[in-house]
Amino acid sequence: MKAIFDERQRKHDPKHFMANGTLYPNPEQPARVEVLHAGAEEAGCTFLDPGDHGLGPIAALHTAEYLVFLETIHTRWSRIAEAADEVIPNIHPDRRTASYPRSAVGQAGFHQADTSCPIAAHTWESAYWSAQSAIEGADLMAQGEQALYVLSRPPGHHAFCDLAGGFCFLNNTAIAAERLRMAGLRPAILDIDVHHGNGTQGIFHERSDVLTVSIHADPVRFYPFFWGHAHERGEGAGLGYNLNLPLPRGTGDDDYLATLETAFAHIRAFGADVLVVALGLDAHENDPLKGLAVTTPGFARIGEAIGRFGLPTLFVQEGGYLSVDLGHNLTSVLNGYKNA
């Protein structure tokens, strides 16, 4: 299996992460790259560098206003007296239609949903190349590859069209799906991250040309809290084209696999001819952000089930944080898929 990654994706090195009012080291560390890269190679992946496809495929989903913000905000923020090294918001609008401020502080609040997506000097560069890796993967799939892994880091599924959040800046999974759609394919997104892909849902919420399906820990008491509930089915033209399958905290392998069959039934009914898997590995029982209890052999069963489903599949890396099991979980998924 081919894999895509660019070395510039290592440069984003966030330091801070606030949860429950307490400041912690940010878990979305560059060291994830080493572990995931090794895990993919252990599964037989051969890594390729992405080409630079420019801003067009990114701007197909993200607003120009937001992209200007991501590219320039750290420089502007650094001019503020006594500003911290990272852009972290301290005020937010009550609605997306609120007035757009000129100040760096106000724009940070408008474009960053929470405190887990700090922006430093190299964040834009890393996010840009993470998206380019996903675009390269989509192009190779459109050219006939049957399976491919994209080591997208920083991840993307919590990023809306104009809003960062949850360690995410550009929605790599959504960008890849849109690229495949523009190539004449009919993509479905299957998000298996422990957290609901709220940004992905938001981007496609009123569209019928991309099906979005997410299996995740029930958000009633789990991030992202406000999205990911079973009643959210899409709106307007997108009504019925979004499926959320929230699971009780601590759900293990057998119940997870049964839920996956429900997801496959909807993807089959949509008539998808290519599958984009938002590959979160944080549903593992030992992940530091744990919400579910999938085992390492369980990930092999998930990969095998996806392989048996039979669609060309683009795996795009989402969550999965540093633990002794992280690399093994990636190897397990990819080997399971290959051995289906």
Residues annotated catalytic, as ranges = 158
Tokens of 178: 């849109």
Q: With left for phi above 0 and alpha for psi between -120 and 50, is residue 144 left, alpha or beta?
A: left
192 contacts 292 by C-beta, under 8 angstroms: no
- Helices 64-78 and 123-142, axial angle in degrees (round to 10): 150
Separation CA 275–CA 256 (nearest Å): 19
How far is Cα 227 from Cα 223, in angstroms, rounded to an integer? 9
Which 3 state secondary structure label does DSSP give 314? strand
How do 22-25 and 16-19 pair as beta strands?
antiparallel
Cα distance between residue 39 and residue 330, in whole Å: 6
CB 259 within 8 A of CB 301: no
Phi, psi of 46, deg, nearest 5: -115, 120
